[in-house]
Amino acid sequence: MGPTPGLRRTSRILVVASDGAALLFFTAAPDSSRFARWITPGGGVDPGETHAQAAVRELFEETGLEVDNVGASIHSFDFDVRWDEADHDRGHAVYYVLRVAERFEPSNANWTPDEHVDVTAHRWATADDLESGTEPFEPAHLPDLIRLAARSV
């Protein structure tokens, strides 16, 4: 069974340390493949939320960091969803940047039950780290986004 027609709006946050490394989570796709890849913190926009409000909420839920706002978005793109158990067939992601002075250990205290299953690791990685490694990441242009985020703040 394939995804049902519909659009899922998401907000993603590029949390970038002063050394240019971004915080990433290793997560399994929410389908029968369980394909694992590195992604930025973030998630779905709830009804009534703006992308920026969702980014602030998701940042807290996934890392424990509390901020009042995440500023202007730096990138957005549309994509097709290919998960066999998805409740949507299209996505729209909006990316924000949060600069931190140094790398930190994210808190999982506010994760959903699914996140405790799907997220298996975290790390700080530069664009070069991703490009020189063999592990998958999403989106395909994530190294370019990390470079843009490192320059934009």
Candidates 58, 61, 102, 131; catalytic one? 61
19 within a domain of the structure (yes/no): yes
> Known catalytic residue: 58?
no
97 within a domain of the structure (yes/no): yes
**Going by DSSP bridges, is the β-strand pair 36-39/75-80 parallel, antiparallel, or unpaired?**
unpaired
Spatial distance between the Cα atoms of 70 and 73, rounded to a whole number of angstroms: 8
Category of 130 on φ-ψ map: left (φ > 0), alpha (ψ -120 to 50) or beta: alpha
Q: What is the pLDDT of residues 77-112, one digit of tens each?
A: 886 666 556 554 677 899 999 999 999 999 999 999
Mean pLDDT of the chain: 88
Spatial distance between the Cα atoms of 101 and 116, rounded to a whole number of angstroms: 27
Instruction: Find, among 1, 24, 2, the residue nearest to 81 by Cα.
Output: 2
* Confidence label for 3 from pLDDT (cuts 50, 70 and 90): very low
The number of folded domains in the chain is 1
Residue 1 above 50 pLDDT?
Answer: no
In eight-state DSSP terms, residue 113 is: H
Q: What confidence score (pLDDT) does residue 86 get? A: 55
114 within a domain of the structure (yes/no): yes
Average pLDDT over residues 27-55: 88
> For 8, phi and psi rounded to 5 degrees?
-110, 120
Q: What is the pLDDT of residues 49-84, one digit of tens each?
A: 999 999 999 999 999 999 999 999 998 988 666 655
Enter the pTM of the model: 0.88
Spatial distance between the Cα atoms of 46 and 114, rounded to a whole number of angstroms: 17
**CATH code for the domain in which residue 75 is found:** 3.90.79.10
- The whole domain housing 65 covers 7-152
28 within a domain of the structure (yes/no): yes
2 within a domain of the structure (yes/no): no
Q: What confidence score (pLDDT) does residue 7 get? A: 67
1 within a domain of the structure (yes/no): no
